[in-house]
Amino acid sequence: MLFFNLKEKVFFLLMLSLTILNNNAFAKITVEANYENAHAVNPKVKEPDTIEMGPIYGHKEAWFNFRIKGVKNKKIYFILRFYKAGPDYLTIPKVTYDNKGYENVKEISFIPENPDPPPTNGEYIMRFSHIFKEDEAFVSYCVPYTNGRLASLVDKLKTNPCVKINKMGDSKFNKFPLTYFRVTDKNVSDKYKKGIYIMGREDSYEVGGSWLCEGILRFITSNDPVAKELIKKTIFYVMPIFSVDGVAGGWENFPLTPDGSDYIYVTATWNKKPLLHEASLVSDFLNNLKKSGESIDISLRCHSTCYSGSDIQHETTKERKSDTEVNKGLNTLSKMIKDNLCWYNKKFLRIVEDRFSWFIIQIFPKVLTFASHSDFSFAPYTVGNKDYIPRRNEDILQDGELFARAIAKFYGIESKETAPFLMGADIDKNCGKRGDTVIFSAYYYDLNGLPPSKVEIYINSKPYQMSRDEMTKTDESKPSRYILKFTLSEPRNDYYLIVSNGKKERRIPEDEYLLPGPFLIE
């Protein structure tokens, strides 16, 4: 039996504490990319705190999504080497611990590997760092949307009487279903209904397109009066993921081989013969719709780069560029979309001869064709901001509702009682010491220009009233920034938000999970 005097006991406990701290500080860090949609190019762990990846070759490999272990309370540095890529690959990586609530990485740069002279071969280094709350986390290019997520959406909507779920066929390599949702009010005859075709994710990494599709589906299957009236007049066909094999593999573009070693930018191949396997399935589906007497009156291709600002663009072909009726419809609907989503850049009319819009026009000559990019940032000067402001999947889901409401307005359906929107929710730093001040922020937006009756944030289930940033303009028809300065005292500070205009309110996230808030680190 050992006996210690007081001085020896203090010394022993001090040495034991230092040993535990050192063992924790140098605990083995591991990187895994062995699950659906995961991808990491040659990860190398440089103990104790640095992870390097690359070389990452342009469009083939830019998507990353990996699990990291052994990182609790550590600041980890990431170095990604891009080859044949440019600074437009700059994204705002996301971190999650539960695959529900995501936080934005704060410290990030994207610079030439050899700045003098400037690179001619696209050699750039992306650097970012993050302090982790838990021992295990997921780090990704942006918020993923997987085939598994789509399967969960199928389970959620399969009992809805307005929804019929089917597949256009199976993918070439993995035999995954190309799932689509047919949404309409079955109590109303289909005879005079307008057809709306919405397709997301032509290329694998365009994850914002899938989130937009889900946002549209959520709204048109809801009990909102506008949604219920809309599906009396329309039939929606929504396919959230076209490149299901590419999504499964975690690749950026559309795979031409089972391992993704060969790929293609599928967006510009719709006039090529023979059609790709998945494209031929879409072709058969649309042609069969036409044979059955149905029409497609509006077509929306949902894209996403995941780094730049969002945009909406209408498209046509040389043969019909002077069609007055079509051009009037294109201009009217694109204006309604832009009015609803004022942070979307309205781009010029595009004459297309190789895109999906060209393809669907060959089947339905009068269809109004649009392409959108729904991205994970507010571009500079779109909401009174000088720099990029990060967004998450909760924002893109709200964009989906706003797109659907624009289509409803196009067909004469709108409401003055709409819940306000709240986007860009974030914190200025993800951790701090007890007594530190952090700033929570979010952007309030009301379709009808109504001021908020409350913008509340619930931190650890306790409500706090957010106040308008004094630098923000008072035009409620544009997104207005609201903030809360908060002093850290609790170990964890996860949160959600409630916003109301006095008539209707909305919870963000609308699903019952929390956003990861700042945590204490000593």
CA distance 296 to 287: 11
Task: Name the burial class of residue 45, with classes exposed (0-12), middle (13-18) and buried (19+) by CB atoms within 10 angstroms of its CB.
Answer: middle
The pLDDT, as a whole number, for residue 375 is 94
Q: Which comes out higher in pLDDT, residue 9 or 453?
A: 453
Task: Please write the tens of the pLDDT for every residue from 103-148.
Answer: 999 999 888 877 776 656 678 889 999 999 999 999 999 999 999 9
Alpha carbon 51 to its chain's center? 25
Domain 147-410 listed as CATH 3.40.630.10: yes
Task: Please write the tens of the pLDDT for every residue from 243-293.
Answer: 999 999 999 899 999 999 899 999 999 999 999 999 999 999 999 999 999
Q: Which of 478, 488, 495 is nearest to 441 (CA)?
A: 495
Q: Which comes out higher in pLDDT, residue 33 or 21?
A: 33
Task: Please write the tens of the pLDDT for every residue from 287-336.
Answer: 999 999 999 999 999 999 887 889 999 999 999 999 999 999 999 999 99
In order, the DSSP letters of 37-52 are: T-B-SS-EEETTTEEE
**147-410 has the same fold as 30-140:** no
The pLDDT, as a whole number, for residue 27 is 58
Residue 337 confidence (pLDDT) above 50: yes
User: CA torsion sign, 486 to 487 to 489 to 492?
Assistant: positive
The pLDDT, as a whole number, for residue 90 is 66
φ/ψ of 104, rounded to 5, equals: -90, 135
Which CATH number, 3.30.70.260, 3.30.420.310, 2.60.40.650, 1.10.3720.10, labels domain 421-520? 2.60.40.650
Strand-pair category, 437-445 with 480-487: antiparallel
Task: Please write the tens of the pLDDT for every residue from 158-208.
Answer: 999 999 999 999 999 999 999 999 999 999 999 999 999 999 999 999 999
Radius of gyration of the chain (CA): 25
Q: Coil, strand, or helix at residue 356?
A: helix
Task: Please write the tens of the pLDDT for every residue from 458-492.
Answer: 999 999 999 999 877 667 778 999 999 999 999 99
Would you kindly state where each structural domain of the chain is located, as residue ranges?
30-140, 147-410, 421-520
User: Which tokens go with 493?
Assistant: 């500070």
CA distance 508 to 442: 10
Span 30-140 CATH architecture: Sandwich (2.60)
Q: What is the DSSP letter of 28?
A: P
CA distance 7 to 173: 69
CA distance 82 to 99: 26
Task: Please write the tens of the pLDDT for every residue from 75-114.
Answer: 999 999 988 766 566 689 999 999 999 999 999 988 887 7
Residue type, 315: E
